[in-house]
Amino acid sequence: MPALVLIGAQWGDEGKGKATDQLGGSVDHVVKFNGGNNAGHTVVIGNETYALHLLPSGILSPGCTPVIANGVVIDLGVLFQEIDGLEARGIDTSKLVVSADAHVIASYNRILDKVTERFLGSRKIGTTGRGIGPTYADKMNRLGIRVQDLFDEKILRAKVEGALELKNQVLVKVYNRKAVTVESVVEDLLSYVDRLRPMVRDTGLLLSNALDEGKTVLLEGGQATLLDVDHGTYPFVTSSNATAGGACTGSGIPPNRIDQVIAVVKAYTTRVGEGPFPTELHDADGERLRANGHEYGTTTGRPRRCGWYDAVIARYAARVNGVTDFVLTKLDVLTGWEKIPVCVAYEVDGKRFDEMPMTQTDFHHATPVYEYFDGWTEDITTARTFDDLPKNAQLYIRALEEMSGAPFSSVGVGPDREQTLELRPLL
């Protein structure tokens, strides 16, 4: 039985939370495989709005087992805050399981994330300041603290001591900050261990057994293709693999068990933080997209940078992830424009690029080649089938589909669960 991957096609905030929530009722497990509480997924169910950061969006579907897999970095304080917040609203979180191999975000990594950004000045990445980058760096440096380390105080203490030996030198001598004590870190991490212990599993084995039993597993990516540390706009990326390949390493599910890769793509483009963005608008159209689309970060509240749809990026996402289906979101936000530009290629120093340029230098210099589509003025938020849409909205969807490299399975016309038009069934 199938494992499905759901990822973002652009720079994040495409509406992955809503899409996952919609599939949650039909799948047995929803697995977060990368990132941490840098993610922010807003899910609207009737009058209730939920903002999820660390928990997989499947937590909102009763019957579904939410899994935080090995590829995630966990801020334990945030985890329990989020659990308590949902429980207080009547959401049952008791099925949640957490990988013994996932890394935990220690206080010194939150501090280092923030001071490094300040130190970088104009070269900053614009991170969420949650300690994500330094925690993944520790993982690669083999200095990381894993969930299972919390079960052996002696090991935990030794690892924290090892990590702090160098970090305190850097904090004090380079950044002029106070040293962090081993005791404070160990104490903080151990304060969660009793609550954490019953949730911890060998999640790779659990998921493999689930697939053997014919269960359906949905692997939900945080961030997105162009924020992927290998395939994104490096160095303006996050520190994990947010593309479909990351779903395998981040969960322990092998590639040959994955049958479907769903990419969520907005009908325009947004980006939070620094880095190149060819279709970015610095004018009234950009302001209008931000206002109509409520484009303010779920995690940090920062205004999102806004621009037109970029088909070069969509095709790149289709290729890098092996996309089988695109879920198009936020079409309703484009209502009211007379003409809607779509970037079909780039021009760099007089040369046309139909694919992503090989170098970041070229990408930084890319200017969009636009095609213009006729807009519509009718309110589409009450549409429930493709046929309910005005002709020009239908033509816009079909044109994007044609140039994006994979079929569109649904179209979002509002934030609510109900505000989705199905073009072809996903499962």
> What is the distance between the alpha carbons of residues 67 and 24, in angstroms, rounded to a whole number?
13
Instruction: Candidates 41, 231, 290, 315: give the one binding ligand GDP (CB under 6 A).
Output: 41
78 token code pair: 């945030």
Instruction: Candidates 3, 7, 12, 278: give the one binding ligand IMO (CB under 6 A).
Output: 12
> What is the distance between the alpha carbons of residues 244 and 263, in angstroms, rounded to a whole number?
9
Q: CB–CB of 22/15 below 8 Å?
A: no
In order, the DSSP letters of 169-200 are HIIIIIT--PPPPHHHHHHHHHTTHHHHGGGE
- Is 138 a binding residue for Mg ion by CB under 5 A? The answer is no
Which residue lies nearer to ligand IMO by CB, 6 or 383? Answer: 6
**Nearest CA among 134, 88, 99 for reference residue 113:** 134
Which residue lies nearer to ligand IMO by CB, 182 or 313? Answer: 313
The alpha carbon of residue 140 and the mean position of all alpha carbons in its chain are separated, in whole angstroms, by 21
- Residue 71 contact, options Mg ion, ligand IMO, ligand GDP, none, Cβ 5-8 Å cut-off depending on partner type: none
> What is the distance between the alpha carbons of residues 309 and 327, in angstroms, rounded to a whole number?
14
Minimum Å gap between C-beta 37 and Mg ion is 11
Instruction: Candidates 40, 56, 246, 414: give the one binding Mg ion (CB under 5 A).
Output: 40
- Is 335 a binding residue for ligand GDP by CB under 6 A? The answer is no
Instruction: Candidates 203, 238, 260, 420: give the one binding ligand IMO (CB under 6 A).
Output: 238
**Nearest CA among 113, 105, 112, 132 for reference residue 192:** 105
- Is 66 a binding residue for ligand GDP by CB under 6 A? The answer is no
- Is 329 a binding residue for ligand GDP by CB under 6 A? The answer is yes
The secondary element (H helix, E strand) that includes residue 395 is: helix 391-404
Which residue lies nearer to ligand GDP by CB, 19 or 210? Answer: 19
Instruction: Candidates 36, 40, 144, 221: give the one binding ligand GDP (CB under 6 A).
Output: 40
**Contact track, ligand IMO, 110-139, x by CB under 6 A:** ---------------xxxx-x-xx------
Distances (CA, A) of 393 to 116, 155, 325, 337, 401: 45, 59, 19, 11, 12
In terms of Cβ atoms closer than 10 Å to its own Cβ (0-12, 13-18, 19+), residue 198 is exposed
So which residues are the catalytic ones? 13, 41
> What is the distance between the alpha carbons of residues 359 and 188, in angstroms, rounded to a whole number?
43
Which residue lies nearer to Mg ion by CB, 159 or 305? Answer: 305
Minimum Å gap between C-beta 425 and ligand IMO is 25
State how beta strands 339-348 and 351-353 pair: antiparallel
- Residue 412 contact, options ligand IMO, Mg ion, ligand GDP, none, Cβ 5-8 Å cut-off depending on partner type: ligand GDP
- Is 274 a binding residue for ligand GDP by CB under 6 A? The answer is no
The site for ligand IMO (CB under 6 A) is made up of 8, 11-13, 38-41, 125-128, 130, 132-133, 222-224, 227, 238-239, 272-273
The site for ligand GDP (CB under 6 A) is made up of 8, 12-18, 40-42, 44, 298, 329-330, 332-333, 412-415
